[in-house]
Structure 1
């Protein structure tokens, strides 16, 4: 009898606690979006500096489209969500800018790393509100620690994202979510969209489960659960974008998801440079100080690669190729010297820089400069515009996404060589027309040898192709797809 009484009291206590929690949850639910009360932008939202830079701040658009009462009604309001660093998410920043430039109100939600610059145009636009979310304080360097920390990290991210989407921002008509990461982003987004009367749009950059498989292996139970979760939760979204046609086909075949292809295109700040502009920029680079480079005759070649220094971008391929090229140059003296600039930050950077130092000490990188750089948005664009060849080491965990760095390179008219052994590569690069592919260090060395040979005719032809590729810009691709979905003004 005493046992049953104890069980009853325990059950009653749990029931009361759950009831209280449910009541608190219902009472504190975030406000819902009303189609009758769109977001409003007023004169007071712009300061003197905004009015001085009217085009960048959105003040020009406000002046042109405001109503008689001095109010601009933003019928398209969008929460743009990145469970990652905003500064390292150019596509989501471009989404935010395009929405704002066409009269939509944007809350851009994600991490803000003080060492990584957010696009200055995004920061300047008054129709974009950046909402920073906290970063999980612990990092897992081993597989075991990763598995141990995973539940705590997911719980931390869940509450941080739920709070940001539900309480730190106004209810919006749309929510545009970057995927991956999928866990817990998609679940939080679905919950918030349900309670706030918001329509969810998933922007597929890759598959979250395929990235997880790089760390745990494709047959790991967590990978299989992640795959099911990703398809099931995302399947209930209102609409989907995907970065390639190949990804659209797989989404349809795998989960029955109809996605709209929305290819990456270069933004307007990425432009080709004149010869004088290139020389002026290169003279400012500290790596060239004291080097016998002839900036006028280009008796050397500048190659640029942007990497996150992670296992899915194997920098050793480029390093081995440059070592082979340096050895070949000792026999074929007509080949120019190479200066390789590697931009980006990541966990394996220090490891590879130690490898570079070792190779320099062994004399395997004679007449070669390999330098790293972390540049502002403006200087990164100028570096690409000053280079002779861009190198992409992106291998793609799914085979269906494309490196945006190649799009950036095309934006400045820079020809590209890249790892090409995945399905979606031909959607971006036309072999022999605006770029060349490789599948090994030896293949990359052969590309460098072919393009930097005596007459460099093929390099000139590829540059012409890259110049043609840069003509179609981000907004040209974005407005007929995303702009149409969000019902934005031309």
Structure 2
């Protein structure tokens, strides 16, 4: 629990509680930070939501008068291209981010009672947030989604000097910066309490929970109407509703920490059984490796290795994505935790839509979300995923799939608002 000085805010009215919610990323693709903003506003607080405005945020964000979006200016295109070596573009990009963060946090927004910052990225976000919190007498909360240095290590290697610098920086700021911390798992909390982090400030565990937007779609006619409206599923709608074609959905950022080849290899193995149900796989999201894998899919199709499988990519609104999940037979999560102690938000959204999952399970915190045989299945290899697809999507897997669907719906009974109120409402002073 937090010390009482961080919990009791009786002299401060709820209307005067102000929070700067900071994410050094695309606001529209940062659901957890959007949910923080909505929760504060729901209780009468004022929110400055700061980040890159690249994709459309949650509709309730746009319609809430208590939430104001402050877009960060993206780095110049030349710093985002691969034509400049990272050793040059990396530091220049950080300098640009320092300037934009100070300008928005220190000059374009009013002083707030709290700054809540998403980590990662940690450079330069944590340092600038600490600086502003000191200068403006603001309480600082770090919401730990993962570690920046482990993500960097995934692309540069753990022995890269930038990785060592990033780790030392992140550990130092973890000890010095926050009034409080939030983690997405109990495993991450335990890790932060030990060296090399040795965090002394209070650490609260706030599990991701689905927002109200993600709901099971019970009506068969509503399911058919949506599938017939969505371009990616229109020609398959009747067969999906009848159960002849199975619909699987995976959301990915197309980055190295999500090995899409696992799903491709599993689908190739599945397709070897010509009597298996046809599969329509919808892959949503954007990222650097998307074009590479789209080419691999085309090559597999030309080679005749996916005879009863169609793989389509899509970029959907939040509303359409939520409905697509509720219409699917199985969700696929390829998230490989770089730290071993984070959890993928996409699985939470799937559960919120009543969708069971097959998820990569090779990390410590996996069991905090997915319960084997209850709401989903875990795998670490492509052949294991292929076996899950064959078993669950076959005629004999109907009962097991229904059992997992019931477990997914039960997991979603506790929603974000309830979890947030329980963990953070009194801390921020928006609840009595």
Q: TM-score, normalised by structure 2?
A: 0.93
Alignment partners' CA distance in 2, 1:346 and 1:323: 23
Alignment partners' CA distance in 2, 1:143 and 1:76: 45
Alignment partners' CA distance in 1, 2:317 and 2:368: 29
Q: Deviation of residue 452 (structure 1)?
A: 1.3
Alignment partners' CA distance in 2, 1:382 and 1:201: 33
Are 2:48 and 1:103 aligned? Answer: no
Aligned residues: 417
Are 2:176 and 1:232 aligned? Answer: no
Contact 2:14 2:431 in 1 (8 A): no
Contact 2:184 2:342 in 1 (8 A): yes
What is the correspondence of 1:370-385 to structure 2 with a 5 Å cutoff?
370-385=311-326
Are 2:340 and 1:399 aligned? Answer: yes
Equivalent residue, structure 1, for 2:64: 125
Equivalent residue, structure 1, for 2:208: 264
The root-mean-square deviation of aligned C-alpha atoms, in Å, is 1.8
SS of aligned partner of 1:475 = helix
Q: Deviation of residue 305 (structure 1)?
A: 0.2
Alignment partners' CA distance in 2, 1:143 and 1:407: 37
What is the correspondence of 1:80-119 to structure 2 with a 5 Å cutoff?
80-113=21-54, 116-119=55-58
CA displacement, residues 397-422 of structure 1 (integer Å, 9 cap, x when unaligned): 10111000000000010000110000
Contact 1:81 1:109 in 2 (8 A): yes
CA displacement, residues 60-88 of structure 1 (integer Å, 9 cap, x when unaligned): xxxxxxxxxxxx86232100000111011
Alignment partners' CA distance in 2, 1:401 and 1:482: 19
Are 2:75 and 1:136 aligned? Answer: yes
Higher Cα Rg, which structure? 1
Alignment partners' CA distance in 1, 2:79 and 2:92: 11
Alignment partners' CA distance in 1, 2:293 and 2:412: 32
Q: TM-score, normalised by structure 1?
A: 0.82
Contact 1:143 1:215 in 2 (8 A): no
Q: Deviation of residue 127 (structure 1)?
A: 0.5
Equivalent residue, structure 2, for 1:413: 354
CA displacement, residues 428-457 of structure 1 (integer Å, 9 cap, x when unaligned): 000000000000111100000111122321
Contact 1:306 1:343 in 2 (8 A): yes
Task: Classify 1:285/1:174 alpha carbon distance in 2 versus 1 (closer, same or farther; 3 Å).
Answer: same
* Structure ranking higher on relative contact order (CA contacts 8 Å, 6+ apart): 2
SS of aligned partner of 2:193 = helix
Equivalent residue, structure 2, for 1:338: 279
Task: Classify 1:382/1:222 alpha carbon distance in 2 versus 1 (closer, same or farther; 3 Å).
Answer: same
Instruction: Pick the aligned partner of 2:418 from 473, 476, 479.
Output: 476
Task: Classify 1:133/1:296 alpha carbon distance in 2 versus 1 (closer, same or farther; 3 Å).
Answer: closer
Contact 2:210 2:349 in 1 (8 A): yes
Q: Which runs of 5+ in 2 are unaligned?
A: 1-8
Alignment partners' CA distance in 1, 2:315 and 2:350: 16
Contact 1:140 1:146 in 2 (8 A): no
Alignment partners' CA distance in 1, 2:29 and 2:269: 32
